[in-house]
Amino acid sequence: MSGTAVVTVVHRRHEHLSRQRATLAGSSAAVDHVVVAMDDPELAAQDWCTASLPRHSQGLPLAAARNRGAEVALDRGSDVLVFLDVDCLADPLLVEAYADVVRDEPATIWSGPVTYLEPPPADGYDLSALAGLDSPHPARPAPARGERLDGADPDLFWSLSFACSAEAWRRTGGFCEDYVGYGGEDTDFARIAVAAGLDLGWVGAARAFHQWHPVSRPPTEHVDDIVRNAEIFRGRWGDSPMLGWLEAFEERGLVGRDVDGRWQVVSRG
């Protein structure tokens, strides 16, 4: 048995999820949508919600939720796993494009270009006209439709939209669940993949569209998570991820470094 599963982990982004589900319903290929609720009893009560996890004492269990979704998908017989952030809308060809490239090159973990959308008009996004808004994020590779790029930089990997074979997933062991809350686990996953002998690539036909929502730059509401996860990463790999955010926090007096170079949240007392 084989098939393609899309794994989405969710905490209270119900309207964004509803629009994502609508775009997946219009996919050119069949898909098993595996939805994992995190600390979200309302979503967990829906009969189409696949699994649920409680909040971890330190924050949302993003890594564990993705692993749980993959476990469900594999148990259902999927040989292609697509991970799609709840804010992302799927191009009609996204699922098919990921399935094709994963089955063609199963030892590569593939990412697709993501366009960050402007705020929606009063009547919402026209889900049938997303292609006309295509403008991939400039900080990531963006091959054209029909193109692939191999040998990608693991530090540019992101978990917004990616796919892999069941075998590649098993070789990684999944996301490291030491990471809780915001940041770090996706760069860690890419490092794990490379260490496991897998390649990283980008596929132009697997396009997604990130729905607008308010953000803070830098994300000061996540400072505790980011510092904690950056130190977990440094302990595992010897360097620090998310340096742009950490240095921005440092400039604002929110974090500092001890004599050994470890990042620490500055006491707010």
**What is the CB neighbour count within 10 angstroms for residue 180?**
21
Give the mean pLDDT of 65-82: 98
Confidence check: pLDDT of 37 > 80: yes
Q: What is the mean pLDDT of the chain?
A: 96
Letter string b/e over residues 66-93, b meaning 16 or more CB atoms within 10 A of that residue's CB: bbbbbbbbbeeebbbbbbbbbbbbbbbb
181 with 57, same domain: the answer is yes
Percentage above 70 pLDDT, the chain: 99
Percentage above 90 pLDDT, the chain: 95
Give the mean pLDDT of 127-131: 96
For residue 260, the model assigns a pLDDT of 85
Q: Which band of pLDDT confidence, cut at 50, 70 and 90, is reported for residue 1?
A: low
Three-state SS at 86 = coil
128 with 9, same domain: the answer is yes
Pairing mode, strands 4-10 and 80-84: parallel
224 with 205, same domain: the answer is no
24 with 57, same domain: the answer is yes
Pairing mode, strands 88-90 and 208-210: antiparallel
71 with 169, same domain: the answer is yes
Whether residue 215 is contained in a domain is answered as no
Helix, strand, coil fractions of the chain, as percent rounded to 5: 35, 20, 45
Q: What is the pTM of this model?
A: 0.96
Measured between alpha carbons, how far is 115 from 130 in angstroms, rounded to an integer?
Answer: 10
For residue 268, the model assigns a pLDDT of 65
238 with 178, same domain: the answer is no
183 with 241, same domain: the answer is no
- Identify whether the C-beta of residue 246 lies closer than 8 Å to the C-beta of residue 257: no
Give the mean pLDDT of 22-50: 98
Residues 209-265: pLDDT tens digits?
999 998 888 999 999 999 999 999 999 999 999 999 999 999 999 999 998 889 999
Confidence check: pLDDT of 189 > 90: yes
Whether residue 77 is contained in a domain is answered as yes
Give the bridge partners for 110, in sequence order: 163, 201
SS3 readout for 198-242 = CEEEEECCCCEEECCCCCCCCCHHHHHHHHHHHHHHHHHHCCCCC
Confidence check: pLDDT of 70 > 60: yes
Residues 85-112: pLDDT tens digits?
999 999 999 999 999 999 999 999 999 9
Structure tokens at 85: 């952030």
Domain range for 193 is 4-210
The residue whose two tokens read 């982990």 is 9
Structure tokens at 209: 């569209």
Measured between alpha carbons, how far is 81 from 20 in angstroms, rounded to an integer?
Answer: 17
